[in-house]
Amino acid sequence: MIKPSPNPPQNPVTRALTFGHCPGSNLLFSIRENIPLEEALVHACDHLGSATATAVEVANNCPPELQSLARSVMHQLDVAKALVEASIAGIEAND
């Protein structure tokens, strides 16, 4: 039998994930399942912004021989934040 219309798109959600290894212990933290993906990405973007601010402070205040490493971290965070922002924009465009 052929369906008269395709299945409606489902709103993507997170799956449970544990993280935060602590020596001599189990994983300390977890991401709950069924959090709307757009909300999780917005929260991740906020965390990346905070991490970038921290990296900027480190880069501006660390010894010169470590500045290139700190700036590398800043670049990686910028890329990750751009990917998350592009993903959010893609989700919003499909709503």
CB 33 within 8 A of CB 25: no
CB 18 within 8 A of CB 29: yes
Calculate ∠ Cα 76-59-21, nearest 5°: 55
Predicted pLDDT at 71: 94
User: What is the rounded CA–CA span in Å between residue 71 and residue 85?
Assistant: 21
Q: What is the mean pLDDT of residues 10-37?
A: 89
Q: What is the mean pLDDT of residues 59-70?
A: 94
Percent above pLDDT 70 for the chain: 91
How confident is the prediction for the chain on average, in pLDDT?
90
User: Which H/E stretch holds residue 31?
Assistant: strand 29-31
DSSP state string for 56-92: HHHHHHS-HHHHHHHHHHHHHHHHHHHHHHHHHHHHH
